[in-house]
Structure 1
Amino acid sequence: MALWVPLAGAGQMQDFQSQGEGRASPQSLSGVNYFASQVVSLLVDRTARDARELREPLVQAMIAASVSGSDQGFEVLLAEVRRSRISFAALADLYIPEAARRMGEDWLADRMSWLQVSIGAGRLQSLMREIGNAWFADRANDAGCGVVLLIVPEKEQHTLGPMVAMAQMRRFGVSVCLRIGLSGDELRSLLETRSFDGIMISVATQARLPEVAQLIKGLRSFQTPTPPIIIGGPVISMVEDLTSCTGADYAFGDIGIALETIGLKSDALYTLRRAS
């Protein structure tokens, strides 16, 4: 299970941490948000399948609808979702990351423009947010299995991958506080007012590692003892010893390993079994 997925991302998205944030009614939504809510409403059925093998028509329909934004594209995708009867988990863990990966490949191969990929990523983010909200609704009475601070550093442009990671952790019952591009003073204030079981930092490129090292140095000075700090993101495949060059405690590309390392895995698995 990937911790966070590389993608040529859309605009930055701010805090999606609040568990009190209710889901809007279809009448109050428009465009992609209405589309996302419709997809999620089809996945509420507990008889949905959680097949690990991707259905190619659904992947293609998701890409087409995300990029075009047309009513016809959304109708085709909704039809595929109904036909496939996939689960929340399959959509979040498999289909959205695969659609994002293929859009990124199409951009690199000049089959899509940067604008198309950015718009498509934004629509996938909207869908991922709706899934996260639905999981919150399902877990409203759960005590929770820990709290994680998920940071996307300043100047990083990727956001869909961290949102995938956030949705996966929320499905496990872990509360996630996502913060994007906060300054040192803002992070200091956050750590002074809240407690976290772990801090995860998503990094896309090797060029950002010096800034990440400074960020981690600051985090350690803000709070003693500092929660375990974990590096993840696309940079995992680019650098062998991320802990040495950044000062992080760990570097992982898997949510399960990351949660187990900070002592949340067993609680998370218990919550996941209750939800299945």
Structure 2
Amino acid sequence: MAKVPLNEDAFDRSEYHKADRQFRLAEQKLPQDAVSALAREVVRRLAFKIPRTVKTDDLPDATEIDLLCASLLSTKDNAADQFIMAARRDGVPMDAIYLGYVAGAARRLGEMWDADEISFVDVTLGCGKLYRIIRGLRHVIAPGILAERDEWPAMFALVPGETHTLGIEIATDVFRREGWDVDMMVGLDHDMLVDQSDRRNYRAVVLVANSDNMIERLTRLVLAIRISHPLAHLVVAGNILDHHPDILELVGADAMMKDIETAVSTLRDVIDGS
């Protein structure tokens, strides 16, 4: 296999550190069952990335997956990062990194968790590291994920469990009157919403939540959409902003839409600033 040097500029260190801070803050601020749900989300969203076009010779064997898992569970914080970067420097194609190494490690962590071979603390540690790695590699992972999707300006979605739809309906109408071609999604559960979002390459995803008790569902939803939309700008809107001053770091979003009067200019600034 030809050696392909890793372009360090392609590694998004800002997003890597943001993802790391998010998981650490979630462990501090959210109850254990919510943190467990975040870890499960990482496992299920990554584990079922099944290789189709990747050459068999490029896929890792069970020993390599076990070594990566050991690195993810290591007390050495950057052991897994070094493992992945070394594979990339050795010429392992990016699709094999994502569909073979990352997905394989997610599946193995899930199996070990279900078999009680690793603790809750271990699996959240490993999943947090996997998540920050894919956020760091988002620019090189994105083409394979988004290749067959048509680009769309924005999606407005009500966080699953919210029942107050008036705000999101007004916002969607305002944007459409301003000439924006946006999708609105309400009344969907978590999996249905993520599945629907996967049909298009949205430049921005606006998630609307009003109740304080929606913070856990919002955090999980942002994480899932980050995996399926590596380059999308995620924006939080709704009354939940009044309850959580650190909401952007906690849920891992990029910006807030504070009111309807400035909503259009806010989203335009978010997209144009990319």
Same structural fold, with TM-score higher than 0.5 when normalized by the shorter chain: no
The answer to which structure, 1 or 2, has the higher relative contact order (CA under 8 A, 6+ apart) is: 1
- TM score, norm. by length of structure 1: 0.40
Compare the two structures and name the one with the higher helix fraction: 2
